[in-house]
């Protein structure tokens, strides 16, 4: 399955987890990676919309790889949705470019899994935090796949990061892991 991984992290240089996951995705067959901040800095108006739309059109599955940023998308990822998933292309009259494609969120969180539970500090699960992304995907006719969440990612040691990487390889369907 041709997969497009859209990476966004406002502080990429400081992120061991997102860096490791991006490198893992880049090593897989049939996976294209586009890091929004590497391409456009933090300029939310700088998107090459046509190039981004072509990348999406070439994929069957879109994966958003990002840290939960104050219980939300990163600023660049939100701007990406605003600019790239445009009326007439993604939705509205004749807007069917995303219809039938799959969307999956792969997220890191500095907090523990317990924090993201009904009993935890925010009294919300990761699925609940990602509800706006799910709603956006369904609105444009995509299939929303269950998210893959990596908790306690801030300061994770090498063994933990290796586990994250292995889970991402499995999720993206690396052939050797399916055998």
pLDDT in tens, 115-174: 999 999 999 999 999 999 999 999 999 999 999 999 999 999 999 999 999 999 999 986
The boundaries of the domain holding residue 130 are 3-178
pLDDT in tens, 1-54: 999 999 999 998 889 999 999 999 999 999 999 999 999 999 999 999 999 999
DSSP state of 102: E
Residue 177 confidence (pLDDT): 46
3-state DSSP call for residue 137? helix
> Domain tally for the chain?
1
**Confidence at 93, pLDDT banded by 50, 70, 90:** confident
Calpha distance 133→117 (Å, rounded): 18
Query: Nearest-CA neighbor of 78 among 4, 6, 5?
Result: 6
3-state DSSP call for residue 11? coil
3-state DSSP call for residue 69? coil
3-state DSSP call for residue 42? coil
Position with higher pLDDT, 54 vs 178: 54
Q: What is the CATH number of the domain that holds 129?
A: 3.40.50.360
CB atoms within 10 A of CB 36: 27
DSSP state of 24: H
Query: Nearest-CA neighbor of 10 among 59, 62, 80?
Result: 80
**Confidence at 178, pLDDT banded by 50, 70, 90:** very low
Residue 174 confidence (pLDDT): 62
**Confidence at 92, pLDDT banded by 50, 70, 90:** confident
Calpha distance 108→89 (Å, rounded): 30
CB atoms within 10 A of CB 118: 9
């Amino acid at each position: 399955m041709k997969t497009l991984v859209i990476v966004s992290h406002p502080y990429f240089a400081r992120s061991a987890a997102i860096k490791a996951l991006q490198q893992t995705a880049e090593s897989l067959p049939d996976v294209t990676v586009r890091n929004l901040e590497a391409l456009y800095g933090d300029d939310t108006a700088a998107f090459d919309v046509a190039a981004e739309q072509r990348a999406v059109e070439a994929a069957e599955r879109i994966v958003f790889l990002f840290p939960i940023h104050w219980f939300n998308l990163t600023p660049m990822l939100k701007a990406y949705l605003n600019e790239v998933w445009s009326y007439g292309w993604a939705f509205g009259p004749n807007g069917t470019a995303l219809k039938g494609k799959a969307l999956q969120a792969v997220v890191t969180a500095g907090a523990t899994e317990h924090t993201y539970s009904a009993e935890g500090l925010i009294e919300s699960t990761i699925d609940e935090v990602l509800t706006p992304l799910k709603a956006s995907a369904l609105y444009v006719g995509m299939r929303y796949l269950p998210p893959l969440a990596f908790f306690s990612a801030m300061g994770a040691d090498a063994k933990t990061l290796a586990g994250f990487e292995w889970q991402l390889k499995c999720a993206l369907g690396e052939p050797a892991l399916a055998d």
